[in-house]
Amino acid sequence: MSEAYTGGCACGANRYEIDGEPVVSVHCQCRDCQHKSGTGHGSYLAFQGAGVKLTGDPTRWDLVGDSGNVKTRAFCPTCGSPLYITNAAMPGLIAVHAASLDDPGRFKPQMVMYTVRGHAWDSVDPSLPTFEKMPPA
């Protein structure tokens, strides 16, 4: 088994440790990910929640995403770093932000989704498969 994925927020108050490999790794250009990242897309690794150990006390808020599903976002109330997302449409999965990893180089994106919301100034690796919205299940 590979080394655990570890990471957390910028100030260190919230940490995670994850056993197992990502189910999927994506860039998402939806409007919500733009707001939260402050730039053109968010980058995530989604894991089975059972393997995720969290420490700290993040603030959470719910929103209805472009997909129409409720998503819960967790971020550090001290430093504001986004930490992870859960999605009512994908129970059991938890998606962490690529740059929250202690070693962000372990992020291996497989696709770009919600390109319908993407901006001309936010070009992502053109060799990746793209989906206008969610990829087909």
Q: Which residues bind Zn ion (CB under 5 A)?
A: 9, 11, 13, 28, 30, 33, 76, 78-79
Neighbours of 50 (CB within 10 A): 9
Please state the closest distance from residue 1 (CB atom) to Zn ion, in A: 29
Residue closer to Zn ion, measured from CB, 11 or 88: 11
- Residue 32 has phi, psi (to 5 degrees) of -65, -45
Residue closer to Zn ion, measured from CB, 1 or 70: 70
Place of tokens 């967790």: 74
Q: Which amino acid is at 87?
A: N
Residue closer to Zn ion, measured from CB, 28 or 45: 28
Please state the closest distance from residue 99 (CB atom) to Zn ion, in A: 13
Residue 66, CB-side half-sphere exposure with 13 Å CA sphere? 17
